[in-house]
Amino acid sequence: MRTSTKPARQRGRPRSYDRDVALGAIRDVFWNGGFSASSLDDIAAAAGMNRPSLYAAFGDKREMYLAALQMFAVESGRELQRALEAPTLREALEAFYGRAIHDYLSGDEGPRGCLVICTAVTEAVREPAIRSALVAILADIDSVVAARIARAQAAGEPCGRGDAESLARVATSVLHSLAVRARAGERRSELVAIARAAAELIASRA
């Protein structure tokens, strides 16, 4: 009796599967359409996976969205923190806003703003897990900006009145406004003008 030499059939996801690549594609679907409007068929097609493989890798739709939020928060947080390393506070804030504006105006289907601000906010009332993720992400951004402002204050740089935490919330509130305005279609020049005015306000002596 001859023994078959055919290789054993592989089960599960194909070898070409790359979790980060697939999650990046899922993130972009949610970024463009939001949580509720993004269908599982659209998500599966973008990730290049069938539904069973999609569920096995990422869980249900809510878990996919939360994973996409976390990916976005980590990647954008890293870029924004790098921008804040500019020598002066004003330069740091301008770079911070500039980096964000670049991302907010990206997207194959048009300007899409911020994944967090432009999609998570609409789901926060009915989805406690999304609300918790939103709160945590906002707090992280506030903390990073507050640390940079505190450093500027300690160095004696020009800075508006108030403690670092309060000034940081003002700075990040402008960031959130830029996200909404970008998604609404405002021009880059208009967004940059807002960013420069905010940087001047926060990084000037009161």
Percentage with pLDDT > 90 across the chain: 88
Structure tokens given for 148: 């940079």
Mean pLDDT, residues 108-132? 95
Structure tokens given for 63: 């878990």
Supply the pLDDT for residue 15: 43
Domain definitions of the chain by residue range: 68-202
Structure tokens given for 117: 């601000």
pLDDT band at 107 (very low <50, low <70, confident <90, very high): confident
Supply the pLDDT for residue 205: 81
* Domain covering 68-202, topology: Tetracycline Repressor; domain 2 (1.10.357)
pLDDT digits (tens, 9 = 90+) for 46-93: 999 999 999 999 999 999 999 999 999 999 999 999 999 999 999 999
Q: In degrees to the nearest 10, what's the CA dihedral of 180, 35, 27, 115? A: 20
pLDDT digits (tens, 9 = 90+) for 16-25: 569 999 999 9
Mean pLDDT, residues 135-156? 97
Contact (Cβ atoms closer than 8 angstroms) between residue 101 and residue 80 = no
194 φ/ψ angles, rounded to the nearest 5 degrees: -65, -45
> Can you count the helices (H) and strands (E) in the chain?
10, 0
Lookup result for tokens 């960013």? 195
Alpha-carbon distance values, 79 to 72, 94, 186 (Å): 11, 13, 23
More confident residue, 6 or 198: 198
Quickly count: other Cβ atoms within 10 Å of residue 108's Cβ.
7
pLDDT band at 206 (very low <50, low <70, confident <90, very high): low
Contact (Cβ atoms closer than 8 angstroms) between residue 54 and residue 44 = yes
